[in-house]
Structure 1
Amino acid sequence: MSLVRWSRPSWARAPLLQCCRQVGARQPRRSLHLAPPFLLDDYIPRYQLLSSIEASKKRSRAYAHLSNCNLCPRLCGVNRYETTGVCLVGADVKVNVIAPHFGEEPCIQGHNGSGSVFFSGCNLRCTFCQNHDIAHQRNGFDLTPEQLAEWYIKLQDTGGVHNINLITPEHVVPQVALSILAARDMGLTLPIIYNTSAFDSLDSLELMDGLVDIYLPDFKVWSTNASRRLLKAVDYAAVARESVQEMQRQVGDLCFTADGIAKKGLLVRHLVMPGKEAEAEAEAIMGFLADQVSKDVFVNIMEQYRPAAHVGKPRKERQRRRQVTEPGGMQREVVEDDETHVRYAEINRPVTEQEVSSVRKAAERVGLWRFNDPPKHDGFAI
């Protein structure tokens, strides 16, 4: 005799489903809104895992680079105990501001702020620099690596910040490495953020490997022409591509603990610039991130560009010559002031919503999906 499996008709299942829903409704529902591959149960900073031998080797390399400075792509080769190179900073770091900072991505600043250290000086000369009073000038106070480490501890113990955020560290990598190792011995337990323009050499990133938990590069432009004209560094784009790939290799995609705070990984920023050429460059950058880095890379498409630094300033030559035709057909040359002729006129305006939207759509077309958007729930955008 064959057995026939009886299937409960839909009208008979309805009361059972209703009962299950009522039981389930009594249970508290918890939704973390987290993508599981990027969720960490706990996190120990990478510098805590270095052996004493590895730490000693990094200290020795840092001191050697200060004696013959060749870590940054500028390759100045100077002895920073005696003089300075392009960055204008010697053996000690020059710091402009140290404080909890609430102007970063929500997953970086959290509720207590990011422990930000704004270094003075820079190895780039961006014509539109939003922090030109810090980056292009030597404003601030000098600190040894050990004194800098003490500030990390103050930010941790007194400020209660979520991380130590090193802003524009490309030109002070040896001192930063020494400060992190010193702070480790003093009791630092916070993740380290390397907040950079992406104009980093592979040698400097190798020195920082094992010391940095989150890399936060700003990929600015794509072409050689834009690098030369706007950043005063012909090789910026090539260096940035190489640097971002190395950062991804070291720390992987951005990951969070259940409180929504980023602990390790790569977060790439791109400041949208005005103009069609800038849009095309942004599309190339997004394509590179998707194809050569990771489709899961966390991206912040920033819209806060404004004319700053040298943009919109009058040219040094403020006169123009033009030919004027007199009655009777005679021509003569007229020299007159040109009040409208300004520097970098093509980027002398804020960006539009359409330009920002265009970059976002380009990123989505190539498969990127993790963006720094306002969350659709109570919590951080992760």
Structure 2
Amino acid sequence: MDSMILKDCILCPRECHVDRTAGKKGYCKVTDELVVARAALHMWEEPCISGEEGSGTVFFSGCALGCVYCQNSNIAKSLAGKIITIERLAEIFLELEAKGANNINLVTPSHYVLHIIEALNISRQKGLTLPIVYNCSGYEKVEALKLLEGYIDIYLTDLKYMSAEPAEKYSNCKDYFLVAAGAIEEMVRQVKEANFDDRGIMQRGVIVRHLTLPGYLEDSKAIIKYLYETYGDRIFISIMNQYTPITKNRAYPELNRKITEEEYEELIGYAIEIGLENGFIQEGETALESFIPEFNGEGV
């Protein structure tokens, strides 16, 4: 691993310039130590990712975005998890493959790009053949993504905001859309068209997720419109209704509710109206805490 990059870390758009090798923590709240909170088969991703067998999901601790409504805040902010070696991470990949995982799903991986590349090199030498999923917030530097070319088969990325107002208010990054739009362009360049096996499990491609927030229906429509007009059927768009207010947020009372069925139905109707076909929607009670896994060190 090129530790020199972590001595003056600019892996993410925050560009902290922190020396993570000296035990300093960046905006992501981690040093150069690799911290993982959970590694297990996960059934709650999009159908072409989880399938019936599950996605081999590795949840990394820390996050460079830090949304105020984060559903995984106990690992993103409080850093629940276990410090492991790169060699152990490579073993985890192989263990998940042995359990029948459809892919290796790297969740919130941005600040560990260098660790992941080395672990993938080791695990591939030992026989890992599964597609690799990069499951991220969308707030990614193109330069960091370029380091991953040839390693990542599927980009599963968020596009959270188009307007600067909610981006700055809820995630402290008013440049979110510009950064994420550039990142998605690079992701599509790398993996080209989507590809599936005979079971319908994605082997290559880009899925862009959008989590609808209460009160931001028009921003959500603008995001769907942008993605469809820019990429058409080259990508899949996952329109999510699972926003869950885990605790009451006194600073942002507008976020203390789920989105309504009417709001979500209006957004889906809009997507259909503009011609979107390659998409995923959520049905039923998805906005439940049960869809948030326990970060208890399983599989680590």
- TM exceeding 0.5: yes
CA contact (8 A) 2:56 2:96 kept: yes
Match of residue 208 from structure 2: 268
Question: 1:294 is paired with a residue of what secondary structure?
Answer: helix
Question: 2:251 is paired with a residue of what secondary structure?
Answer: coil
Match of residue 143 from structure 2: 203
Q: Deviations over 1:247-278 (max 9, x none)?
A: 11111243211111111000111111111xx1
Q: Deviations over 1:322-360 (max 9, x none)?
A: xxxxxxxxxxxxxxxxxxxx3212221111111111221
**Selected match of 1:124 from 59, 65, 69:** 65
Q: CA, structure 1 residues 374+137, in 2 after alignment: closer, same or farther (shift >3 Å)?
A: closer
**Selected match of 2:231 from 293, 306, 316:** 293
The 5 A counterparts of 1:102-141 are: 102-141=43-82
**Selected match of 2:270 from 347, 362, 369:** 362
CA contact (8 A) 2:192 2:234 kept: no
Question: 2:38 is paired with a residue of what secondary structure?
Answer: strand
Question: 2:36 is paired with a residue of what secondary structure?
Answer: strand
The 5 A counterparts of 1:51-66 are: 62-66=2-6
Aligned AA for 2:236? F
Aligned-residue offset at 1:373: 4.9
Q: After the TM superposition, which segments of 4 or more aligned residues of structure 1 sit over 3 Å from their partners?
A: none
The 5 A counterparts of 1:80-91 are: 80-82=20-22, 83-91=24-32
Rounded Cα–Cα distance in structure 2 between residues aligned with 1:179 and 1:239 = 27
The runs of 5 or more residues in structure 1 that have no matched partner are 1-58, 314-341, 376-382
Aligned AA for 2:103? N
**Selected match of 1:188 from 123, 128, 144:** 128
1:302 equivalent in alignment to 2:240: yes
**Selected match of 2:97 from 156, 165, 181:** 156
Greater relative contact order (Cα < 8 A, sep 6+): 2
CA contact (8 A) 1:245 1:292 kept: no
Match of residue 13 from structure 1: none
Percent of aligned pairs sharing the same letter: 39
Rounded Cα–Cα distance in structure 2 between residues aligned with 1:366 and 1:145 = 45
Rounded Cα–Cα distance in structure 1 between residues aligned with 2:79 and 2:7 = 21
CA contact (8 A) 2:240 2:281 kept: no
Match of residue 180 from structure 2: 240
Aligned-residue offset at 1:233: 1.6
CA contact (8 A) 1:219 1:268 kept: yes
CA contact (8 A) 1:198 1:243 kept: yes
Aligned-residue RMSD, C-alpha: 1.7
Rounded Cα–Cα distance in structure 1 between residues aligned with 2:188 and 2:274 = 18
Moved more, 190-199 or 282-291: 282-291
Question: 2:213 is paired with a residue of what secondary structure?
Answer: coil
The 5 A counterparts of 1:93-108 are: 93-108=34-49
The runs of 5 or more residues in structure 2 that have no matched partner are 284-300
Rounded Cα–Cα distance in structure 2 between residues aligned with 1:177 and 1:68 = 19
Question: 2:21 is paired with a residue of what secondary structure?
Answer: coil
Rounded Cα–Cα distance in structure 2 between residues aligned with 1:182 and 1:132 = 30
Question: 1:81 is paired with a residue of what secondary structure?
Answer: helix
Moved more, 346-355 or 192-201: 346-355
Moved more, 78-87 or 256-265: 78-87
1:371 equivalent in alignment to 2:279: yes
Aligned AA for 1:352? T
Which structure: larger Rg?
A: 1
